[in-house]
Structure formats: structure tokens, C-alpha cells
Chains A and B, each alone.
Chain A
Amino acid sequence: MKKPNGIITEQMCAHFLTIPGEKLIFAKRQHWFILVAPITAALFLAATFLLGAHLLFLIYYPSIPLYLSGNFLILLIFLSVMVKLVSDWHYNLYIVTTRKILKVSCSPLFSQTISEVLLDQVRVIEVNVKIKNFVHVLLDMGDVVIVFDRPSHEEMFVIANIEDPGATGDFLTHAFELIMHSSPVWFHPRDTKHLYKLTEDVYERPHTES
């Protein structure tokens, strides 16, 4: 099966493959487009403050030292914000292996969150692809929503704003089929010759004697 675009190599994610025999299915970052809005906002703010500094320190209160210092300060703030935005994006990724699904969300110096779903504790019942709007269609960007059925309730894991969501969804569905068929708990084949993807949950009713 064709692998979707924008996949991160296994060497980069080797740190997260902790279970013996675990293999990487795919790892992805969010689409670069999510950086566009905050970078544009930062650029706009920097330009506004530079203009303000120009007006303030060259026209209303002329002072070359203040003008130079102010401009350097604005430039430094802008570059620091850019570094933080790009680093946060770089260290925010989704990893799917044969044993678990991970969302790694690290913000250097600020926070670190790693969410993990162990695949042998759940059953995947749906893999949905969601492309929200016109711009996302043009950029081939969207969400892949994985719906789990736990014994007590349903839960969703959203792989948000990734590149090539359609191919990723197909790829994941195919991978989950293979993984879940070999799962001893949830996918007992009815017939050894014909494997079924879905099985029914059958619970014994308690015998009551009237």
C-alpha cells in the first residue's frame, strides 16, 4: 500500500518504540500551514511596532539611541517568538506503531505532553477523515479521527491538521485491519478460511428461573 506524504523517518522516532517487537507504522507532524497564521500575526505586530518606534523616536521625540535600541528590541522579540513557534511545531507529532498511538507535544523550556493509547486495550471501530474547508482542500490538509471502543465507553483520538489525510486514513485503516485481526481479545475470526474484520460482542445473559 502506498504510504502517505509527509511521513517522518523511523530513525527520528526510534526513542518512542519501547515495546519489544514494536514497529513504526507512521509518524507525522502537523501541516506547515498551521504556522502561517501565528507567523503572519507576529510579522504584522512587529511591523506595527517598528512603525510606532519610527514615529515615536524619529518624529515626535527624536532620539537615535532610543530608535536603534527599540528596533533591536522589536527584532529580538520577533525572532524569539518565531523560534518558539517553529520549535513547538517541530516537537508536536503523531506516532502510530503496531502497539500504540502517541501524541507527542513538547514545547522546549515550557511543557511536555505525551498521550498514549495502547492498541491491545482498545478496539478501533472507525477511522474517519475530515477536511474542514476550502483552504484545507487546496492544501490537502485535514484530520484523521480514530474512534475506539473500550469495554465501557467510546473515545476518539484526533490526528489533527496533517498533510495528505485521505491517504493517511486509508493507510491507517489497512494497518489497523492487520493489527486487529491478530488481536486475541477483539478479533476472533469466525472461520479460519475467511477472516472477518468485525466481530460481535456477545455477552451471556444471567439465567433467571421464574
Chain B
Amino acid sequence: MDFVTTVFLTIFLTAVAVLALFNILYVGGVERTRKQTGMHPPTYIHGILRVNIVVALFVVGLIAVFMAVL
């Protein structure tokens, strides 16, 4: 694996990991707001957040595999 690919993959891996963490924390934030306001968020918000977390974790794994293979 050349230097440029390594740098880009490292940046992408960090960014996707941060996004995964953000989405996990955001689920908690939405739940806390629901408790404080008594208002449920739209159901699709939870759906998109779950998709985001799954995709982010998948991409973290994918980049890790790329880094290992290359």
C-alpha cells in the first residue's frame, strides 16, 4: 500500500469512526430529549440512525480489511 492510500484510508477510517460514535450518542440524545419533552421523535429518525450506525460500523470494518489486505 502506498503512502497516499494509507493517508486517505486513515483519514476515512477516523472520520467514519467519529460518525459512528456521533450517531450512537445521537440516539442517546434523542432519547433524553424524548424524556424531557415527552414528545416522541418521528419513527424514521430512529430508522435512519440505526442505518447510519450499521453502515458506519460496516465501513470501519471494510477500511480495516482494505488496510490489512493492501
Binding site for B on A (CB under 8 A): 12-16, 61, 63, 65-66, 68-70, 72-73, 75-77, 79-80, 82-84, 86-87, 90-91, 104, 106, 108-110, 112
Contacts and interface: CB of A to CB of B under 8 A. Distances in A.
Contacts, number: 102
Contacts of A12: 38-40
Given A72-B16, A84-B26, A91-B39, A106 B33 contact: yes
Given A69-B66, A82-B48, A86-B45, A75 B55 contact: yes
B4 A76 contact: no
Chain A interface mostly? helix
Interface of B: 4-5, 8-9, 12-13, 15-16, 19, 22-23, 25-26, 28-30, 32-33, 36-42, 45, 48-49, 51-52, 55-56, 59, 62-63, 66, 70
Contacts of B42: 86, 90
Given A66-B8, A68-B62, A76 B52 contact: yes
B63 to A, nearest CB: 5
Contacts of B13: 69
Nearest to B55: A76
6 contacts: A15-B39, A65-B66, A69-B66, A72-B16, A72-B59, A87-B45
Nearest to B22: A80
A69 B48 contact: no
